Amino acid sequence: MRNVSALACRISLVVAAATVAEFVGPGVAHADVPNRVQPFRADSGDACTYGYTQGSLAFGSSNTPWPSRVDLWGTVADRPLPADPGMPCADDGYFTVASYTAFAGDVVIERETRLADNGVVSFRITLGDNSSSTRPIDLVVIQVCRYPQLSPMPTFYCGYPRKYVP
């Protein structure tokens, strides 16, 4: 009797799994349902971490079976901030620009930038949703650069690009 009960339980699990697989389908993304949310962070690469961006991103789809958009939300900051203590990060005459770029293979689908100058700016952006690309977004590159406020100052510099995949 115990073997019959165990067999019935296993059959029920197999039927349930097959039903779910048939409903969901292999590799099918549902419209407007994002994949897992990933944290992101990138900085300017200097000793004081003058510029940085951080937040979350989620690859999602809009009526396609692949990631056709990326939602990003978070902040971009440029130091010194009002809450920073003392002189370690004195104003250096630069501002921070964070770039968020979505790729399908080696093709840029869409790029957005956000700027901060001695403060923190919140943002929420979507990359790729208005695109007519028939290729999936398979990479997002986030990079923070700093630019001089006055032209006679030295050129801009950037931190390492950070890469995120679905």
**Per-residue pLDDT, 36:** 77
Query: Would you say residue 77 lies in a domain?
Result: yes
Asked whether residue 14 is assigned to any structural domain, the reply reads no
pLDDT value at residue 101: 97
User: What pLDDT is recorded for position 74?
Assistant: 98
- Domain count within the chain: 1
Per-residue pLDDT at 61: 73
Taking 70 as the pLDDT cut, the residues of the chain under it are: 1-35, 62-66, 86-87, 130-134, 152-154
Q: What is the CATH number of the domain that holds 131?
A: 2.60.40
Q: Is 2 among the domain residues?
A: no
Domain assignment present for residue 5? The answer is no
Q: What is the dihedral of CA 75, 80, 83, 86, to 10 degrees?
A: 160
CA separation for the pair 141, 103 (Å, rounded): 8
Q: How many CA atoms lie within 13 A of 85 on its CB side?
A: 0
Q: Which residues contact 25 (CB under 8 A, 6 or more apart)?
A: none
* Residues pairing with 111 in the sheet: 101
How confident is the model at residue 66, as a pLDDT? 66
What per-residue confidence (pLDDT) applies to 48?
Answer: 87
**Neighbour count for residue 23 (Cβ, 10 Å):** 8
Q: Which pLDDT belongs to residue 87?
A: 62
Per-residue pLDDT at 8: 41
User: Is there a domain that residue 16 lies in?
Assistant: no
**What pLDDT was estimated at residue 129?**
73
- Domain hosting residue 160, numbered range: 28-164
Q: Encode pLDDT of 11-54 as tens digits.
A: 343 333 333 333 333 333 344 445 679 999 999 999 889 999 99
Q: Which residues, 6 or more positions from 18, have their beta carbon under 8 angstroms from its beta carbon?
A: none
Among residues 99, 101, 120, the alpha carbon closest in space to that of 50 is found at 120
Question: Does a structural domain hold residue 17?
Answer: no
- For residue 17, the model assigns a pLDDT of 38
